[in-house]
Structure 1
Amino acid sequence: MSDLKRLLKSSGIYFLGTALNKLLAFFMLPFYTKYLSPSDYGEYDLSLVYVNFFIGIFFIDIYVAIMKFLLDDSYKSIKNYKEKIIFAGFVVFVICLVFYVFGFYIFLTIFDVKFAILLIFLGVITYIHTIYGYICRAYNFSYVFVFSGLFSALIGAILTLIFLIYFKFGYVSLIYSSIISTIFAILIIDFNVKIFSKFRLGFGDFSFVKPMFFYSLPLVSLAFSYWFAEFYGKFCISKSISLAQNGYYAIALKFSALLLLFVQCFKMAWQEVNFSKILDKNMMSDYYTKAINEYIKFLFLGSSFLIIAIKIIFPYLIDIKYYEAFIYIPFCILIYVFIGIYEFLTNIINKINYNKYLPKICIIYLVINVFFITFFIDKIGIWAVIFGFILEYIVACLMIMFLIKKEFIIKIKFINILYFLLFLTTSYICYNLNFKFIFLNLVFLLVFVAFNYRNIFKKVNLFNR
């Protein structure tokens, strides 16, 4: 199967599962916004940021190392190498776990955060599920990964409704349901992939612990930089403005994160193709240049369709007290566009083993973000956080491309400006004009996409090898 077919087929599988998963989450938004005030939702969202921030600090993305090592054919000569890699991955996880629990508990105690033990446990379960998901995909059990996510989302939605409406637990309902549903997802994956059995088979062999640890260590900077920026931005909104404003921002991100659905699906498929791809250095420039330009085009065109869809469904899903959030959505979408490009580039860095440079890059663009937010938060409010994120990831992408230039050159085509302007125009129409103009814009987009992808529509059959 060609790389394009493999990429599209894998992306399609992940999209099917993730899309249905996200739809379930979106059907829950009317209940969230009805039964939770903007302040409560803002406080819940901030709690999740705490969880992800401390995961980013103390866990070192060992799941990426596990997948890379499992897909690396150079270890085939080692008996039971896959089982030994899984065992080594969990050894690193346990080491990180000790520091995570200790550090997170101290933070939650100092700042007197509600539901501290539940938040610590949610972080542990979430990370175990992430490791299981990457192992599942490395063993080519994509369908199991998708099904487990769907089933977990359905269980989570049902439990949330019970806890929120019947028991009236408030926003802790969402924490309870997340923990229970994630445990279900882990059990489904283990039942099908037998990960715990593989762990036992590799038990006691520490030969992969050191190389996997040092491969993963630089990756902590990626998670840390993202979640610290997220943490700092929402912390500033909550303290400098209000928890209610953080609630509006959280809802805007919730809708904008629909683009992240495409980004994550592509990322998962791209990791499988990229880590298993063997290229001569002379071929890398053409290969990655073509790939990233197609990806950028896809992101901006997809974002244009997304903002139209959001404009239509927003009033039906969100309680009127949250309507203020819509104004932030187009620029929040841009955040995820640049995150998508950034993650594409970091996967190339992982492929060519330039991980050691990532911490320096992350420190630079994180400092830019923090200074921007600190200086402008009192002047322009939430916009300081949004523009700080966009600026951060533009700088990050430029620095990583400069780093990749040590091996080969990736050229970003000037025509991508056209796709960017198309997204901005669509956003303006959705915010300022009536549905007649929105409909005309949609028709133009459909024709434009049909023309741009005419060759792919003709030639690509995802179900034939």
Structure 2
Amino acid sequence: MAQNRYKKLMGNTLIFAIGTFSSKVLVFLMLPYYTNILSTGEYGTVDALINVGQLMIPIASVGINNAVIRFGLEKGTDKSSVFSSGLYTILAGFVCLAVVSPILTLFMDFMSGYTIAVLAFVLASSLRTLCVQFALSMGYNKMYAANGIANTFLNVILNILLLPHFRIMGYLLANILADVATGLLMFVLAKEHRYLISPMSRKMDRGLSKRMRKYALPLVPQTVCQWIINMSDRYMIIFFINTQANGLYAAATKIPNILLVVANLFADAWQISAVKESDPKEQVAFFSKVLGAYSSIAFIGSSGLIMISKVVMTFMVGKDFFISWRYIPVLTLGTTFGLLATFLASVYMLRLKSRNSMVTTMICAVVNIVLNCILIPVLGNNFGAFWGAMGAGIATFISYFVLFLIRAFDTQKYLKIQWNIKKTLVSVVILFVQALIMTAEVPFWFVLVPALFVLLAAINAREILLSVNKLLRRG
């Protein structure tokens, strides 16, 4: 049983990797195309519009898609009630969002002229997510992965066709049309119409719907706070500095996102395995072994990205964006601890403790906002616009580090995960020193940074090999 559990986790991860990694790499490779067609100001506006749309998605849908995957994976639940509850919640939430949408432009000038497009983006994305998450909960893993490829390729093709002619609007339309097409495709291929029932039907399990909403509601403020941690720095850069600085900052964030892409491949498989593991004693061993390998891979991957940050930006962005490479080391630090904190959040999902997930994220968001308000104007006024944006990166790193520490202690109440404390502490110190050396370009940085990478890899390689050996041989 144990061996099957680990092999299933590895098998699902491989499926998602094959299905989505190539498509995510394609999006990454499109960055030079975007940054050579759009100006820094236009790219900054596009980034702001997409991100505010992503903020609206969990609010309009009341976070119900999180409940769809969580309860859809449970044995014995009424799948029709799960899918239909998700659909009707999204539609009702979208109507409410559309009613209040005219107010948004009063607070966000950059949305002027794009409100309808952003609303369409929110609805299309919410409905597609519902369809793919439900399909995943039903075991259509390969179809889920294939849909991700189709969505990305269609998005790229539409951007190539629309971006040169419609600029910012073209980027938005490409995202909307890709989501609509692939969402409908999943709905048809997974035959999800079989699970549609009227909200007034006696077949609707209202008790289940209530449990889903109870689970999902705390995740709304959590997601908003997560957005604040990830994206508020962009809007505060625009407020305190300008859209050009935000364009540089936004371009730099695409490189650490490589880590998120790889981690999300695993996360899709992990959430399935985490929920389906029911033996309390096995859960501790399962989580501890997986976390050991996961954290080591995260540290090594982050160190490698920091090492190549300057080189990769020479061919990944237009010349006007090259200077943004200096943001990458600190942003990579933040991403690393964000990944570890996200893994720990799976403990909350397992125990249905969405409130804890919300509270810890809210604390982190407050830290992020306070630091942004201090660091962006202080560094910007004293050292220039570029370094003002660096303040946002520092704030993001610190806030994610705080989130990681809080969850590392808090999750022990629900699952006694076994940490390799010594290895973790040493890895964190090496990663921090490496980022500092790279950003400052201290003398002989081109020797010191690779040397630290080798040292960190050596420290973590043993745990990866041991974990893989246990997963393959004994479980």
User: Shared fold (TM-score greater than 0.5)?
Assistant: yes
- Alpha-carbon shift at residue 47 of structure 1 (Å): 0.9
* Amino acid corresponding to residue 264 of structure 2 in structure 1: Q
Residue 28 (structure 2) aligned to one of 26, 29, 35: 26
* Pairwise CA distance, 1:401: 3.6
CA contact (8 A) 2:35 2:321 kept: yes
How far the C-alpha of 1:284 sits from its partner, in A, is 4.4
**In the alignment, structure 1 residue 305 sits paired with structure 2 residue 307:** no
Which stretch of the first structure deviates more once superposed, 408-417 or 420-429?
A: 420-429
Report the counterpart of residue 153 of structure 2 in structure 1: 154
Check if 1:122 corresponds to 2:121: yes
- For the pair 1:90 / 2:87, whether they are aligned, the reply is yes
In structure 2, what is the equivalent of residue 111 of structure 1? 108
Alignment partner of 1:170: what SS? helix
Cα shift at 1:42: 0.6
State percent identity of aligned pairs. 21
> Are the equivalent residues in 1 in contact too, given 2:237–2:246 (CA < 8 A)?
yes
State the partner residue of 2:275: 275
Give the corresponding residue for 1:198. 195
Matches within 5 A, 1:33-112: 33-75=35-77, 81-108=78-105, 111-112=108-109
Q: How far, CA to CA, are the matches of 1:364 and 1:275 in structure 2?
A: 26
Shift of 1:451: 4.6
Deviation at 1:61, TM superposition (A): 2.2
CA RMSD between the two structures:
2.8
CA distance in 1, matches of 2:145, 2:465: 29
Change (3 A) 1:326 1:357: same
* Per-residue deviation, residues 265-286 of structure 1 (Å, max 9, x unmatched): 1221110011111022x55444
Q: CA deviation at 1:248?
A: 0.8
User: Pick from 427, 452, 466: which aligns with 1:419?
Assistant: 427
Please name the residue that 1:241 is paired with: 241
Question: Is 337-346 or 103-112 further displaced after alignment?
Answer: 103-112
User: What aligned pairs does 1:370-385 form with structure 2 within 5 A after superposition?
Assistant: 370-380=369-379, 381-385=388-392
Number of the residue aligned with 1:175: 172
**Residues 66 and 153 (structure 1), Cα distance of their counterparts in 2 relative to 1, 3 Å cut:** same
Q: More displaced, 127-136 or 101-110?
A: 101-110
Cα 1:126–1:405 change in 2 (3 A) is: same
The residue matched to 2:298 in structure 1 has which SS?
helix
* Equivalent position of 1:4 in the other structure: 6
Moved more, 317-326 or 108-117: 108-117
Q: Is it true that 1:212 corresponds to 2:220 in the alignment? A: no
Structural mapping, 1:396-435, within 5 Å: 396-412=403-419, 413-424=421-432, 427=435, 432=441
Residue identity opposite 1:191 in structure 2: V
Aligned to 1:323: 322
CA contact (8 A) 1:85 1:202 kept: no
- Quick check: 2:131–2:183 contact (8 Å CA) kept in 1? yes
Per the TM alignment, residue 440 of structure 1 is displaced from its structure 2 partner at its CA by 6.8
Q: Distance in 2 between matches of 1:48 and 1:259?
A: 20
Q: Residue by residue, what CA displacement relative to the aligned partner does 1:240-289 show, whole Å, maximum 9, x if unpaired?
A: 11101100110111111111012211221110011111022x55444433
For the 8 Å contact 1:86–1:202, the answer to whether it is kept is no
Name the stretch that deviates more: 94-103 or 428-437. Answer: 428-437
Deviation of the 1:308 alpha carbon: 4.1
Would the aligned equivalents of 2:31 and 2:316 in 1 still touch at CA under 8 Å?
yes
Deviation string, structure 1 residues 92-142 (Cα, Å, up to 9, x no partner): 222322222233342135534231100111011111111112112112212
Aligned partner of residue 405 in structure 1, secondary structure: helix
1:275 alignment partner AA: V
The 1:385–1:103 alpha-carbon spacing in structure 2 relative to 1, beyond 3 Å, is farther
TM-score by length of 2: 0.87
Q: 2:30 and 2:79 mapped to 1: Cα distance?
A: 39
Change (3 A) 1:134 1:225: same
Q: Is the 8 A contact 1:92 1:209 kept in 2?
A: no
Say if 2:64 and 2:213, in contact at 8 Å, map to a contact too.
yes
Are residues 1:264 and 2:264 paired?
Answer: yes
What is the SS of the residue equivalent to 2:336? helix
CA, structure 1 residues 156+283, in 2 after alignment: closer, same or farther (shift >3 Å)? closer
User: After alignment, is 427-436 or 57-66 more displaced?
Assistant: 427-436
Question: How does 1:135-150 map onto structure 2 within 5 Å?
Answer: 135-150=134-149
The normalised TM-score by structure 1 is: 0.89
Report the Cα offset of residue 372 of structure 1: 1.3
User: One-letter code of the match for 1:10?
Assistant: N
Instruction: Go from structure 1 to structure 2 and tell me whether the alpha carbon gap of 1:149 and 1:309 turns closer, same or farther (over 3 Å shift).
Output: farther
Judge which range, 446-455 or 333-342, deviates more: 446-455
Letter in 1 for 2:464: Y
CA contact (8 A) 1:105 1:120 kept: no
Listed one character per residue, the Cα deviations across residues 363-403 of structure 1 (whole Å, up to 9, x for unaligned) are 32222211111122211212332222222222223333443
Change (3 A) 1:171 1:70: same
Q: What displacement does 1:51 show?
A: 0.7
- Which segment is superposed worse, 241-250 or 202-211? 202-211
Q: Unaligned 5+ residue runs, structure 1?
A: 76-80
Q: 1:296 & 1:343 partners in 2: Cα distance?
A: 11
Contact kept, 8 Å, 2:229 with 2:365, in 1: the verdict is yes
Match for residue 78 of structure 1?
none
Please tell me the residue identity of whatever aligns with 1:254.
K
Quote the offset at 1:326 in angstroms. Answer: 0.3
For residue 394 of structure 1, what is the aligned residue in structure 2? 401
Which of 41-50 and 147-156 deviates more?
Answer: 147-156
Q: Secondary structure at the match of 2:339?
A: helix
* Paired amino acid for 2:67: A
SS at match of 2:422: coil
| One-letter amino acid matched to 1:331 | V
Could you list the per-position Cα deviations for residues 118-174 of structure 1 after superposition, in whole angstroms to 9, with x for gaps in the alignment? Answer: 011101111111111211211221211121111221121122112123xx2112221
Letter of the 2:238 counterpart: S
Deviates more, 1:214-223 or 1:49-58: 49-58
